[in-house]
Every structure is written in C-alpha cells, then in structure tokens.
Amino acid sequence: QVQLVESGGGSVQAGGSLRLSCVGSGSIAVGSRRCMAWFRQAPGNEREWVAGISSRGITTYADSVKGRFTLSQDNAENTLYLQMNSLKVEDTAMYYCAASSFGWCTSIRNGYYLWGQGTQVTVSS
C-alpha cells in the first residue's frame, strides 16, 4: 500500500522547536523524481503550503516560515523532515506531508496526489 505517514507533532511553548517526519511506504520513494512538500491547516482555515523540496533538491518556503523552518530528506530512509524552530502560536495547525507527480514544487494543493494523515502541532504562549 502506497502511503505517507507523518509523526513528530506535539505541544510546545512559543520559541520552542519540533521536528516532523514523513515516511513513504509502498512504491512511493521520497525525493525520487518528485516534489515532496508540507502543508498545514488550522481550524477554520484553508490548507496552506509550508515548504517543498523539488526532485533536484531545491527547497522553497512560505514567507511565514522562512528562516525558521528547514526542510530536508533522507532518501536512504525514505523520509522527509521538517525542522521547525522559533515556533509561534500562529504555527498551530495540523501538518500534512504530500507528494506531487511533478519534479517541481507548487504551492497549489491540487498539485499533490498523495497525502498523509497529518500530525498535530500546538504552540502555546
């Protein structure tokens, strides 16, 4: 079964850090000829793009997380990571890992065909 499984979410105080992981299983290969990305969705809000890494290893970030979040991947472990530092209350959301059919990344939700179940991140003041 092809799937993405996220982990690493939790509750943290503002200014703290968390590292999210996304493991691909089945025939999905993290980082192989496809863009992998993280999205997030807070209650009452649309799902928004957070960061992506292209098939060439180029990372891009939403302005709201630039300088605080770092995306990386371990192809041997078939795992995508999102290191989140200097967390803010407004970072509170369910975070989703997603795979695109394309090597380049888009911030558009419809550009991704495979999604994980999400992992909750809660940042308190």
Render each residue's pLDDT in the chain as its tens digit; 125 residues.
789 999 999 999 999 999 999 998 876 666 668 899 999 999 999 999 999 999 999 999 999 999 999 999 988 888 999 999 999 999 999 999 999 989 999 999 999 999 999 999 999 99
Q: What is the pLDDT of residue 101?
A: 87
Sign for the CA dihedral angle at 107, 61, 8, 32 comes to positive
Q: What is the pLDDT of residue 31?
A: 61
Q: What is the pLDDT of residue 27?
A: 67
Q: What is the pLDDT of residue 46?
A: 96
Place of tokens 């799937």: 3
Using a 10 angstrom Cβ sphere, with 0-12 exposed, 13-18 middle and 19 or more buried, the burial of residue 19 is middle
Q: Partners of 121 in the beta sheet?
A: 10, 93
Structure tokens at 80: 């995508």
Q: What is the tens place of the pLDDT at every residue in 12-33?
A: 999 999 999 999 887 666 666 8
